[in-house]
Amino acid sequence: MAETLIRWMDGGAPAEISGGTTWGMPFARGTVPGPGSLRMKDAAGNPVASQAWPLATWPDGSLKWAGMALPATGSPSDTYLVTADGGAAPAASQPPSGGASVTVTESADAITVDTGRLQMVINRRGSTLFSSLSRDGRAVARDARLVSLLQDRIHEGAGTARRAAFTGGVTAVALEQSGPVRAVVRLEGNHRPDAPESGRRDWLPFVVRFYFYANARSVRMVHSFIWDGDAERDFLSGLGVRFTVPLEDEPHNRHIRIAGADGGFLTEAVRGLTGLRRDPGTDVREAQIAGRPTPAPDTWNPEVSERLHLIPAWGDYTLTQLSADGFELRKRTAAGHGWVGISGGTRASGFCSLSDTRGGLGIGIRDFWQSHPGQMDIRGAATGEAALTAWLFSPEAQPMDLRFYHDGLGQDTFEEQLEGLEITYEDYEPGFGNPTGIARTHE
């Protein structure tokens, strides 16, 4: 029986695996007939829920590389033992203990995925990436969609640049893995103009994958798009994913969390009860600061509770990271009113959340400051339906300009191109600067 001991790269195990984990493993030729023979045990020798699938095979058909997955767990092992039983066991996966697993239900109109803690409904067609995301039966987000902005020119002096809004339209949905430990759903489509009468064509083909793990309280989303515009007249001026967040509690029991740099966070309520001229009471202030439900208003200092409607509710927040060197954070009460600067810093982590006492939604962008210009928006936090937008390309940055950086410098012949290579190292030929087909991926 083939056995392989694996360890965490950082040494000991993390405190928890909140979203599940995946890695790849190589195997010697002829030692593992297929993923169905792979099993896992923890450091104590106990069987561990796992899932395996082939990534590559040897010429004799034996397994060369396998993908391996573990579910979310609050007590990961320091080491794991991967064994190959020669195919004696019938199943390719070990389902999680306690009955929790990723379950997938397919219909003609949608795919529903349940991790045991999260439930997502993905429509097969339309303008949404998913129609609902629920945790323990309560909707935390709805109508996730891709949004983009197309600008028709780079503003250089006189004239006005115009922007057109687009929304991602899903044309194909496929179930790539169906559990029981890990499920993957792939969506394909392109961006469609919000005003079809504008004459703008569909553009920016995209692929989105959602990764689900048993017991996980989060979902990993990987988004890729391919540039298919005309670099001389199409300038991408915004690209993001937007989520609708339903809220029910009063504004003083709604909470904002936005990550800054070096572990710092903006933590405040939509309607703050601290720093007022009158004190609502120690219990009220401490509860709100901690993000807990406040006591009922009729138990507060009446000098505050009777004037609650006179305390502003801050509905909109924006964090922009327009370069690798700095971010800005600001807020306002609502559209049509002025922005108030909060703070700034160096390199933001790229996370924001909006919640009330029943829960909410958090969004994080991997390598946020490194992939600048990025932006995180919260809109309508004081209303019944707020919007969270994770901008993968900030609409406040200069538009993406993919025009070639020079006019060819007269290098029209092979001899002239060789002469240019002698001085700038650049192997230039007409058409080498065409950006069509360039792709970009975000998580």
Per residue in 133-146, pLDDT (tens digit) is 999 889 999 999 99
Q: What is the pLDDT of residue 94?
A: 52
Tell me the per-residue pLDDT of 348-388, one tens digit each, with 9 for 90 and over.
999 999 999 989 999 999 999 999 999 999 999 999 999 99
Q: What is the pLDDT of residue 88?
A: 46
In the predicted structure, residue 96 carries a pLDDT above the cut 60: no
Tell me the per-residue pLDDT of 144-178, one tens digit each, with 9 for 90 and over.
999 999 999 888 777 788 999 999 999 999 999 99
Distance CA 189, CA 129 (A): 10
SS3 per-residue string spanning 255-297: EEEEECCCCCEEEEECCCCCCCCCCCCHHHHHHHHHCCCCCCH
Q: What is the dihedral of CA 87, 93, 94, 98, to 10 degrees?
A: -150
Q: What is the pLDDT of residue 198?
A: 78
Q: What is the pLDDT of residue 2?
A: 76
Q: For residue 95, what pLDDT band results from cuts at 50, 70 and 90?
A: low
Given a contact cutoff of 8 angstroms between Cβ atoms, the answer to whether 285 and 394 are in contact is no
In the predicted structure, residue 182 carries a pLDDT above the cut 80: yes
Tell me the per-residue pLDDT of 386-421, one tens digit each, with 9 for 90 and over.
999 999 999 999 999 999 999 999 999 999 999 999
Domain map of the chain by residue range? 2-94, 103-245
Distance CA 243, CA 132 (A): 10
In the predicted structure, residue 90 carries a pLDDT above the cut 70: no
Q: What is the pTM of this model?
A: 0.92
Mean pLDDT of 237-260: 97
Q: What is the pLDDT of residue 98?
A: 45
